[in-house]
Structure 1
């Protein structure tokens, strides 16, 4: 267990170094979601609502789109196979990817809190639901990324395969409007998306929420962890698809 943890940390450090050298990936992870957030800010009179929900959008890019590309490229280049055949266990490999995504996500959320304070004069009053939502959200989207990499034929296609999921998550998520202000059908869809409980737990840090509401959000994320883990078992591949 200790060895797996050390390997996960080592792999996470490698991921962060590689991300810093890949300017396209860095733009997609750090800048692109903020541009979406800026567009949504133009649609609301409550900037705190949008900014406090932005971590959910950040996760889509940081822990999902980026890791789909990472897993797929490493599989096709035999990196995953070499890691798996060496000292790194599956837990260490997945843990390292998740840990790297978590480090970037924490950095982004801290910047977002500073931005929210400067732009809207608001600071979170309860960090606990934000921490829980962030940890579970990273776990869900990292696992979903691993599963989607299994159905992605090449690194070149890694930008396209997750696109339908990206569109649904971006436009059905309650970023600019509360759930109860959405059309009924869209509200039903939004409530079962993995991005929604992340947003609501993050907002609970600013606006507060009842224990019952937070329990529902946590249970939804735990359900998604289980579903995502099953999808990984079904679709994830260690060997290149062209073999």
Structure 2
């Protein structure tokens, strides 16, 4: 167990080094979500949503988009390319176990995601003077969100023929997340079927929990009521349960679809 953890940490450090050396990946994974956050905030100037400014509401929802880029797209590309180059096969045949290989990728993605969340927190503090109200809740939501989208990435890499087609494979998921995730509006405020879809998306509980943790108010039921630290955890329990259920589904999909060796035929 200890050896697997050490291997996962080493692989995560290697992943982060490779990302830092690739300017295209750095832009897509780190900067593009922040650029999209700025674009979303420009549509909410002067409005209040659920008791907070529109800009602040959007910024606290942007982690949902970041999961799509820093975790999902990044890992689908990484898993697919490494599978086709036989890297995954060699890693699995060496000292790291399968869980250590996947865990190392997830740890690297978690580090990237947390780095983006820190940048968001600085942005919010400079524009609205807001500091995160419940850091432990943010960390739990971040870890569960990365685990979920890491497993989904592993599953989607299994149905992606090669690295060149990875961008096409992930496109439907990213479009649904951009349109349906409650980034600029609460899920219940979206019209008709779109609101139903938004509530069913795996990214929605992550966004709602992180928004509650950032602002210290109930943005899960949508009331915006200020909550104590304990009250925030209680309010987040149903969404945490939904996340755990989604993780179980994603784990089954990953076990069924993920491939260690190149696809044939």
TM-score where L is the length of structure 1: 0.96
Name the structure 1 match of 2:22.
22
Which has the higher mean CA deviation after the structures are superposed, 68-77 or 116-125?
A: 116-125
Tell me the CA shift for residue 127 of structure 1: 1.6
Task: Point out where structure 2 has 5 or more consecutive residues left out of the alignment.
Answer: 48-53, 219-230
Q: For residues 181 and 164 of structure 1, what CA distance do their matches in structure 2 show?
A: 23
For residues 135-191 of structure 1, what are the alpha-carbon distances to aligned partners after superposition, in whole Å with 9 as ceiling and x for unaligned?
100000011111100000011111111100110011100111112211132121111
Contact 1:59 1:137 in 2 (8 A): yes
Contact 1:47 1:120 in 2 (8 A): no
Task: Point out where structure 1 has 5 or more consecutive residues left out of the alignment.
Answer: none
Tell me the CA shift for residue 212 of structure 1: 4.7
Name the structure 1 match of 2:225.
none
Name the structure 1 match of 2:263.
241
**SS of equivalent residue, structure 1 residue 162:** helix
In the TM superposition, 1:69-218 aligns within 5 A as 69-205=77-213, 206-209=215-218, 210=231, 211-218=233-240
Q: For residues 23 and 251 of structure 2, what CA distance do their matches in structure 1 show?
A: 30
**For 1:231, which of 253, 256, 262 is the aligned residue?**
253
Q: For residues 136 and 64 of structure 2, what CA distance do their matches in structure 1 show?
A: 16
Instruction: Give structure 1 regions of 4+ aligned residues with deviation exceeding 3 angstroms.
Output: 210-213
**SS of equivalent residue, structure 2 residue 62:** helix
Tell me the CA shift for residue 132 of structure 1: 1.3
TM-score where L is the length of structure 2: 0.89
Q: For residues 92 and 57 of structure 1, what CA distance do their matches in structure 2 show?
A: 26
**SS of equivalent residue, structure 2 residue 169:** coil
Contact 1:9 1:96 in 2 (8 A): yes
CA RMSD of aligned residues (A): 1.2
